[in-house]
Amino acid sequence: MIKVALPKGRIAKESLALFEQLYGAGFAFDDRKLILEHRDFTFMLVRSQDVPTYVAHRAADVGIVGLDVIEEQQLEVIKLLNLQIGRCKVVVGSPCGKSLDLQKPQLKIATKMPNITRKYFANKALSIETLKLYGSIELAPLVGLSDAIVDIVETGSTMKQNNLKIDEVIMESSAYLIANTNSFYEKKEQILALYDNLKSTL
């Protein structure tokens, strides 16, 4: 039995489709249910930012989650396979028509991803103030809450429609199969079988 944490949100549909492809149609969670038993698996539906927590604490043996979330959460998990779905970029963005002055003392950056943000600017030896928000990040520089944002860009339409531009790309992201370290050693055969199956769908 392998416990698999699947993300709700942006990569949910694509990762559920992968499992459907592998384990047959009808692979779906009932209405509001969060646990699904199927063959040798227990699947659980988890908020995507929480997938590394479930895997690191071994509530799940493996999980699917974006590289951006893995970087942000900084928990100990094994990255097994790039699933090539849920591609997006983490970028620094700011209002069009103004150049972003990275040298400005205490530049205010609004973001859902404070760890990635701090690390990126610390590596450039720039001092910033991070404002942690939980959504609608693009609003912050439009109403004077921040000078810039660090956020996810997928199609680019949210930034475009809010008159923001990309100043810098921090990282490219896509979804990964991750595993708990102990699970990986104890359930190596089953996890590698899942790895091979997922790899064959790419």
Residue nearest ligand PRP, CB atom distance:
135
# residues contacting ligand PRP (CB under 6 A):
13
Pairing of strands 2-7, 62-66: parallel
Name beta bridge partners: 194.
none
Write down the least CB distance from residue 125 to ligand PRP, Å: 27
Tokens 């450039």 locate to 124
Residue 176 C-beta: closest distance to ligand PRP, Å: 18
- Taking the complex as a whole, the smallest distance from the CB of residue 88 to ligand PRP amounts, in Å, to 7
Per the structure block, which two tokens stand in for 20? 């459907």
Q: Interface with ligand PRP includes 200 (CB under 6 A)? A: no
Q: Which helix (H) or strand (E) holds 7?
A: strand 2-7
Q: Are 170 and 68 in contact (CB under 8 A)?
A: no
Contact between 170 and 126 (Cβ < 8 Å): no
The residue written with tokens 């849920």 in the block is: 86
70 closest CA partner among 132, 123, 5, 134: 5
Q: To the nearest whole angstrom, how small is the minimum distance from the Cβ of residue 195 to ligand PRP? A: 28
Show the site string, 100-139: x = touches ligand PRP by CB under 6 A, - = not. -----------------------------------xxxx-
Helix, strand, or coil (residue 175): strand
Cβ of residue 171: shortest distance to ligand PRP, in angstroms?
14
Q: Which of 114, 119, 156, 195 binds ligand PRP (CB under 6 A)?
A: 156
Candidates 23-31, 116-124, 150-158, 182-190: pick the segment binding ligand PRP (CB under 6 A).
Answer: 150-158
Binding of ligand PRP by 46 (CB under 6 A)? no
Element (H, E) at 76: none
Which among 11-19, 22-30, 146-154, 164-172 is the span making contact with ligand PRP, rule CB under 6 A?
A: 146-154
Q: Does 153 bind ligand PRP (CB under 6 A)?
A: yes
Q: Rounded to an integer, what distance in angstroms lies between the CA atom of residue 148 and that of residue 102?
A: 10
Binding residues for ligand PRP (CB under 6 A): 10, 135-138, 151-158
